[in-house]
């Protein structure tokens, strides 16, 4: 799901809250809303907040706590949380946080790769560097509204890294020279992953490490 899909979905859920509030009627103690409409709104919103922000984020935890009863008050509380989430999404903060987390993970894996290279383990280092590169391509695609999945037989299938590389270059996220470099690094990673260890050298993996490190730094 890209940023436009996320924006569309949060708008749909805010509209859903408005629809729930149209069902207000007198109850035994105060006013209530349709329990069926409210349950649908609550479940869909929790699913969205969990998938977008995670279960530890205040948006998810607050929504889960504040929207318990099928009442106008709880519905309005939920709508307010969704509006706050929308402001964060529109401001780009969601991807800022995810990028920071990704950067920390990338740094750890690249440090491990450097250690493996120093110890002479070129093959696992090549696989690890390639995996970091592939994940960076996915993050870069998401950030620039490029789909990272294809739908096949009604099922989402992750796009291949070389396809993402081609799309990123074609939309000028980076240039053709970078595209060729990424292609060569992905090729080396595939050779390592499939056991073709004699088809590349430790020196080539070292160049790959430096190149990927520089590429991620420039395009993050």
pLDDT tens profile 41-95:
999 999 988 878 777 778 888 999 999 999 999 999 999 999 988 887 776 665 5
Among residues of the chain, what percentage have pLDDT more than 70? Answer: 90
Both 128 and 184 in a single domain?
A: yes
Both 101 and 203 in a single domain?
A: yes
Both 107 and 210 in a single domain?
A: yes
Both 65 and 118 in a single domain?
A: no
DSSP output for 119-182: TT-HHHHHHHHHHHHHHHHHHHHHHTT---EEEETTEEEEPPHHHHHHHHHHTTSS-HHHHHHH
Both 86 and 97 in a single domain?
A: no
CATH number of the CATH domain containing 97: 1.20.120.330
For residue 97, name the pLDDT band (cuts at 50, 70, 90): very low
Neighbours of 90 (CB within 10 A): 13
Both 123 and 179 in a single domain?
A: yes
Long-range CB contacts for residues 202-208, cutoff 8 Å, separation at least 24 = 202/117, 202/120, 202/122, 205/117, 205/122, 205/125, 205/126, 205/129, 206/117, 208/126, 208/129, 208/130
Residue 96 has pLDDT above 60, yes or no: no
Residues 33-42: what's their mean pLDDT? 96
Both 9 and 75 in a single domain?
A: yes
Of 56, 90, 124, which closes a domain?
A: 90
Task: Tell me how many domains the chain contains.
Answer: 2
The partner residues of 149 in beta bridges, in order of sequence, read 158
For residue 98, name the pLDDT band (cuts at 50, 70, 90): low
Cα(200)–Cα(9) distance, rounded to whole angstroms?
Answer: 47
pLDDT single digits (tens) 186-195: 999 999 988 8
Neighbours of 193 (CB within 10 A): 13
Q: In the numeric block, which tokens belong to residue 181?
A: 């470099």
Residue span of the structural domain in which 82 resides:
3-90
Both 62 and 102 in a single domain?
A: no
pTM to 2 decimal places: 0.54
């Amino acid at each position: 799901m890209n940023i436009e899909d996320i924006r569309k979905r949060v708008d749909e859920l805010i509209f859903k809250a408005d629809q729930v509030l149209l069902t207000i009627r007198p109850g035994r103690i105060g006013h209530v809303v349709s329990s069926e409409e409210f349950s649908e709104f609550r479940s869909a919103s929790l699913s969205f907040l969990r998938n977008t922000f995670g279960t530890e984020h205040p948006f998810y935890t607050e929504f889960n706590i504040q929207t318990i009863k099928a009442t106008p008050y709880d519905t309005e509380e939920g709508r307010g949380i969704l509006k706050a989430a929308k402001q964060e999404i529109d401001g780009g903060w969601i991807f800022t946080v995810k990028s920071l987390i990704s950067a920390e993970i990338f740094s750890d894996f690249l440090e491990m790769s450097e250690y493996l290279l120093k110890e002479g383990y070129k093959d696992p280092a090549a696989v690890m560097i390639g995996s970091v590169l592939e994940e960076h391509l996915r993050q870069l695609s998401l950030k620039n509204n490029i789909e990272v999945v294809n739908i096949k037989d009604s099922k989402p299938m992750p796009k291949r890294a070389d396809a993402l590389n081609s799309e990123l270059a074609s939309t000028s996220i980076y240039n053709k020279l970078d595209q060729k470099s990424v292609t060569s690094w992905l090729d080396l990673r595939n050779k390592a992953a499939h056991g073709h260890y004699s088809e590349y050298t430790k020196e080539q993996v070292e160049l790959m490490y430096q190149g990927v490190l520089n590429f991620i730094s420039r395009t993050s």
